[in-house]
A and B are shown apart, each in its own frame.
Chain A
Amino acid sequence: MTTSTETPSSTRRGPKHPGQRVAEWTDARLGLYKLGKSNLRKIFPDHWSFMLGEICLYSFTILILTGVYLTLFFHPSMSETVYNGPYAPLQGVRMSEAYASTMHISFEVRGGLLIRQIHHWSALIFIAGMIVHMMRVFFTGAFRKPRELNWLFGWTLLFIGMFEGFTGYSLPDDLLSGTGVRFTEGAVLSTPIVGTYLSMFLFGGEFPGHNFVPIFYSAHILLLPGIMAALLVAHLILVFYHKHTQFAGAGKTEKNVVGMPFFPIYTAKAGGFFFLVFGVIAAIAAIATINPIWTMGPYRPDQVSTGAQPDWYMGFSEGLIRVMPGWEISAWGHTLVLGVFIPLIVFPTVLIAIAVWPFLESWVTGDRGEHHLLDRPRNRPVRTGFGVAWLMLYFTLLIGGGNDLWATHFHLSIETITWSVRIGFFVVPVLSYFVTKRICLGLQRRDRDKVLHGRESGIIKRLPHGEFIEVHEPLDQTELHILTAHPQPQPLDIGPEVDENGVERKVSAVTKVRARLSRNFYGEHSQIPKPTVEEYDEITSGHGHH
């Protein structure tokens, strides 16, 4: 648009609507209309699983809103004070300002407890939502080109989100969270060579000191949410830019996206969903207590309660810590605390394993094409197997992280559970990989049967010669298309290692590994050939369907 202000108005008659005038004023300064041109009627497909990310977006928004409220009352200070508030079981007890102000929010600020509980419940749901959203993206292959970077943005949000949660959980300085901070100190100390220095810097001296609440506060309300907000905006811009993926279906191709426009349908649906998420979390916060710090008491390094667990999202790292044998190597006056340091390294490694998958997959399969149609998980058995294996590893470790509670509730011993998790750490992912792959192949086979022979109708027919058969109904073209839309790539072929003259061709070891992996992805043991038109014609034109 040029600087001329007459052009738009000259084409129209009558006075302008005030809203229109505001829009034009803004447009002249921000280029609003150009932005709207490609985005206002942006098409989004409808599927419940495409809204998981929205749950995360909205719970993050709720966290910011309630978090700002909480900062109005919370004192991030570790100065000691004596409690004189209304909660009788703590009157006269020494505690930090941080704990006392959290007590104040919970018992004296009207609505303070509600906001605190909404904040904490949203945090749990935020990270749970991110995990589930990430799994949806993983299992449907939505991370493939051109969305790999957005996958990494999302993954980083999850990773930072865990620490954002941890720092927030530690702020009230109660006995439970303090125990978690003590663990952090131990973990930092286990770092070879620099551990003691890092610990002194983090705590401003020896544990617990008077520093960690202010430091965590600064990270929790400024540094980490700042990074997360930036990543989140980038994540959303890319979702708009790439346009959403979709499942195969009638009229849905790699070249288009079929759905309804952002304005007004998704403005209403997504805007409404924000209120619904907020409402559901408010209802939960009205009904169920979360982190009742008054029952836990203020932190003292010489006190503890059984059942000391972190919030669930740190549970898998807790599991790693609990099941690790106590290895410690002392030599030449130094100690290598493997019992703590190995879990500390394995913890990000578990997460990174899923983060790098898109790059690994495209390297192995040599797939450089863009993909906007989603995979059905069964059609990619290796990826699905890996995803399930990863999830099962995650859940095995989560169980390890709560071994004491499982022990008392299922009448088992801690030692048994710990040993089971130790073995399960290695066995469960492998088993789940193979089981999942078999299930996927079975489902592929069923799809093939359905395409060729139709759907079982449940109607039994007796043939003239006495045989009973079940009548199969043929599928309509849309269903046939959906079941056969997925491409079935062939494994990489490195060609003969010896050329026609008998001269050995040099094939690097990396190429061989890649070819091997590729066979594992797309070889005959990893996909059931989908029916061809010829097969279909032969069966349907022959003796009818049966």
Chain B
Amino acid sequence: MSETGPHNDMAEPEEHLPATRGAHGAEAAVPGDPFADPGHPEHEFRRQDIDEKAATHSERVVAGLFTLSMLGTLAFITSFVIFPVDKYIYVFPLGHVSALNFSLGLSLAVALIGIGAGAVHWARTLMSDEEMPDERHQASADDELRANIEAQWQQGVKESGFGRRKLVRTTMLGALTLVPLSAVVILRDLGPLPEEKLRHTAWAKGKALINPNTNKPLRPEDIPVGSLTFAQPEGLNEQDEDFQTQIAKAALMVVRLKPEDIKDKKELDWSHQGIVAFSKICTHVGCPVSLYEQQTHHVLCPCHQSTFDLSDGARVIFGPAGHRLPQLRISVNGEGNLVAMSDFEVPVGPAFWERG
């Protein structure tokens, strides 16, 4: 059973112990209160404190760790020099990994862990581990100091005339309030005003649907029921300066449904022989939706799982999207290619305040 204060029953003779330290108020219990704070316990010594052999052993371990770190750094430099950047090695179970990344990382880890473990082991075994108390002090000032500072403050306020000269105070506050406005105004040219930009895409009447796989116009006979094809507007090139911005709105997915499967009358009207073209941009926050299930006609968004029913006007049937995918009205031109009949009639992509 352990009592409150630890007792030293070591076999070692007393003179091997360092000068007795600690024992701040051990056994300082309040008589009659079994729950009282027993006070700071007497310091207990470690093997290293009393046995020079143990201390020497710890010293060797620490030195060994620091030496290991040096070897790690040497290994790092060696790896850097000997491994070409495109050298791959097979490491089980990681697979074919970059020899350089693997060797540099591990040797750096050894170099760093050697230093860290050495320092910690040093602190834990060789530095004094005597716990000692330290007094705390309140952050707040005492009454005298508080009165002093308040007096100084009042003196300053009086000298400035801040309370008395109201005109100075008011105009200063006015000036300070206005001046940040220039910081707001100067940000204006970060971008243009929205205007009608979000309402228009690169689609227009007569623009052919170009298959991005082949860069050729799509023809109705190319698209069987159950297939999935994407399309971009004729004239839009990957090399164009604004390609990314245009494709971000114009991306289109094209599928063919059996006309009798189409439940939405407008969808059928805007299709060509059951070929329907919908915006690929999710109406939730703009991810490309195109996880098309050809048997259910559902299309799922991979970002937030909004699900649209392509057989029913791309109605939202699940998830956080707030409205249907816009449909592009299509037909066939004289050359037999699929073409848009107009731009999208509603803005594509995420909803916004002015969308209406």
Contacts and interface: CB of A to CB of B under 8 A. Distances in A.
A and B touch in the complex (CB under 8 A): yes
Interface of A: 42-43, 46, 80, 86, 94, 107-111, 113-114, 117-118, 146, 179, 182-183, 185-187, 189-197, 199-209, 211, 241-243, 250-261, 264-266, 268-269, 271-280, 282-283, 285-287, 299-308, 318, 321-328, 330, 333-340, 370, 372, 403-404, 414-415, 418, 451, 473-474, 476-478, 480-481, 484-485, 533, 536-537, 540
Nearest to A46: B131
Contacts of B245: 205-209
Contacts of B302: 304-308, 404
Nearest to A336: B353
A304 B288 contact: yes
Nearest to B110: A279
Contacts of B176: none
Contact of B129 (A113, A265, A480): A265
B328 interface: no
Contact of B4 (A283, A299, A476): A476
Contacts of A266: 123
Contacts of B319: 322, 326, 418
Interface of B: 1-4, 24-25, 29, 32-41, 80, 85-86, 94, 98, 100-106, 108-120, 122-124, 127-136, 138-139, 187, 190-194, 197-198, 230, 232, 238-239, 244-245, 247-249, 251, 280-281, 284-288, 290-291, 300, 302-306, 316, 318-323, 349-356
A250 B80 contact: no
A183 B191 contact: no
27 contacts: A94-B238, A110-B85, A111-B80, A113-B101, A114-B104, A117-B105, A118-B105, A183-B286, A185-B286, A196-B353, A208-B245, A243-B136, A256-B134, A260-B130, A260-B131, A268-B127, A273-B116, A286-B109, A301-B248, A302-B280, A304-B303, A308-B287, A326-B284, A337-B322, A414-B305, A477-B3, A537-B34
The 10 closest A-B pairs by CB, nearest first: A286-B105, A186-B285, A251-B40, A328-B322, A272-B119, A275-B116, A279-B112, A301-B248, A276-B116, A279-B113
A275 B112 contact: yes
A299 B243 CA distance: 12
Contacts of B29: 477
Contacts of B33: 533
A189 B33 CA distance: 67
Contacts of B350: 185-186, 189-190, 337, 340
B2 to A, nearest CB: 5
Contacts of B244: 208-209, 299-301
Given A335-B356, A340-B350, A481-B38, A146 B101 contact: no
Contacts of B106: 282-283, 286
Contacts of B116: 272-279
A418 B306 CA distance: 11
A190 B351 contact: yes
Nearest to A86: B86
Contacts of B25: 251
A321 B285 contact: yes
Nearest to A186: B285
Contact of A330 (B35, B187, B249, B356): B356
B304 A321 contact: yes
B132 A283 contact: no
A109 B86 CA distance: 10
Nearest to A536: B34
B105 A283 contact: yes
Contact of A255 (B135, B198, B280, B318): B135
A200 B127 contact: no
Contact of B320 (A108, A209, A324, A485): A324
A423 B247 CA distance: 38
Nearest to A401: B304
Contact of A476 (B1, B37, B133): B1
A269 B123 contact: yes
A432 B304 CA distance: 27
A518 to B, nearest CB: 25
Contacts of A300: 244, 247
Of B105, B129, B300, most buried by chain A (CB within 10 Å of CB) is B105
Which residue, of A272, A285, A415, has the highest number of chain B Cβ atoms within 10 A? A272
B190 A250 contact: no
B232 to A, nearest CB: 7
Contacts of B321: 326, 339
A206 B39 contact: no
A204 B192 CA distance: 7
Given A279-B108, A328-B351, A183 B287 contact: yes
Contact of A207 (B124, B135, B248, B353): B248
B35 A484 contact: yes
Contacts of A254: 136
A268 B86 CA distance: 39
Contacts of B105: 114, 117-118, 282-283, 285-287
Nearest to B355: A335
B102 A280 contact: no
A302 B248 contact: yes
Given A186-B286, A306-B302, A258 B104 contact: no
Contacts of B318: 415, 418
Contact of B113 (A113, A261, A280, A307): A280
Nearest to A238: B139
Contacts of A533: 32-35
